[in-house]
Amino acid sequence: QVHLVESGGDSVQAGGSLRLSCVASGVTYRRYCMGWFRQAPGKEREEVARIDGDGATRYVDSVKGRFTISKDNAKNTLSLQMNSLKPEDTAMYYCAASTWPYCSGSPSDFPYWGQGTQVTVSS
């Protein structure tokens, strides 16, 4: 059974940094596409970043140059380093796992989800 647990969410001021982590059990990170999504109140869930099974990364335009996704295969941990945070980054952030090495940005590509970790950025 796949189990994803996120941590690292917090309340920070604009310009600050946070590092989110997602520890997985029951899934082998190095094989499958993994992603970070976020959902703000009243908005749809959107992909923030993903990393394919071959290590290729993709980011939504609004976070390019500020966020970095990475994975530690030995520790089965997915991370999201978030720098230069903005109030519009405020959302619940979710870790997600696919069962394919490559995936699109659609949430439907990810059958496994964590419970989420809250990020709040104040101006």
Which pLDDT belongs to residue 2? 86
Distance of alpha carbon 122 from alpha carbon 56, whole angstroms = 32
C-alpha 102/C-alpha 16 separation (Å) is 32
Strands 117-122 and 57-59: unpaired
CA 47/CA 35 separation, integer angstroms: 7
Q: Which amino acid is at 5?
A: V
Chunked mean pLDDT (size 10), the chain, 123 residues: 94 98 82 94 96 94 98 91 98 95 92 97 97
- What does the pLDDT look like over 43-61, one tens digit per residue? 999 999 999 999 999 999 9
- Burial class of 52 by CB neighbour count within 10 A (0 to 12, 13 to 18, 19+): middle
